[in-house]
Structure 1
């Protein structure tokens, strides 16, 4: 299963549930929402649009530190391919983020796979 955490401008495909947290531009921020989700959800892979690296290095650096590439599978595609992938998400959590390409898809991992 996958979920998407998005900025306030990402289109939500028809049929995908939207959880709209946006209260105002920047509230809550992408970083705030991703940090809380990362704390409570075990993920195995992250998917971002490759454009984030050049157009929003602050968000990219935050994601790299939150989801280190030696612990998570990283998928980087074009923004168009990213938007296409959102059609398979269980939901899109819309933040108030107003910076470009601040979007991520997280693929869930099994929460008890590390237990003996």
Structure 2
């Protein structure tokens, strides 16, 4: 049996096959997912699994260098946005790497998801709880 935290086979495959600057999205239950992008659907019911739990697990398994969020996220869901920013800062300290963090309008964000290698759908029902991660390198 696998020793690290990530047990989901599809997510493990995604992380193992990411190349430098590849993008993947973690989203709430409502974000539209383009037909052309792989959907990894973890949503079980409202709130399960939670967005922050999925992000925490993926950050432990993958190196990122960039983060993209919707401009509306901090205003509409300030508590979850703050949790995510704190998690990102902790990961920067742990990895000794700095991430670029940028914001797009929600409409531009949805268009940007078309570039994702995969979109991971959570059961999160908090508005604008969506993030695009850009893969980094561990060296």
TM-score bucket of the superposed structures, by smaller chain: over 0.9
Q: Does 1:100 align with 2:121?
A: no
Q: What is the aligned partner in structure 1 of residue 72 from structure 2?
A: 51
TM superposition outliers: structure 1 runs of 4+ over 3 Å: none
Whole-angstrom CA distance in 2 between matches of 1:39 and 1:27: 19
| Structure 2 SS opposite 1:67 | helix
1:11-26 matches, within 5 Å, as 11-26=32-47
| Structure 2 SS opposite 1:100 | coil
Q: What is the aligned partner in structure 1 of residue 63 from structure 2?
A: 42
Shift of 1:97: 0.2
Going by fraction, where is strand more abundant, 1 or 2? 1
Going by fraction, where is helix more abundant, 1 or 2? 2
Q: What is the aligned partner in structure 2 of residue 83 from structure 1?
A: 110
Q: What is the aligned partner in structure 2 of residue 10 from structure 1?
A: 31
| Structure 1 SS opposite 2:132 | strand
Give ranges in structure 1 of 5+ residues lacking alignment: none
Shift of 1:72: 1.1
Whole-angstrom CA distance in 2 between matches of 1:33 and 1:99: 14
Whole-angstrom CA distance in 2 between matches of 1:2 and 1:73: 13
Whole-angstrom CA distance in 1 between matches of 2:130 and 2:82: 13
Aligned-residue RMSD, C-alpha: 1.3
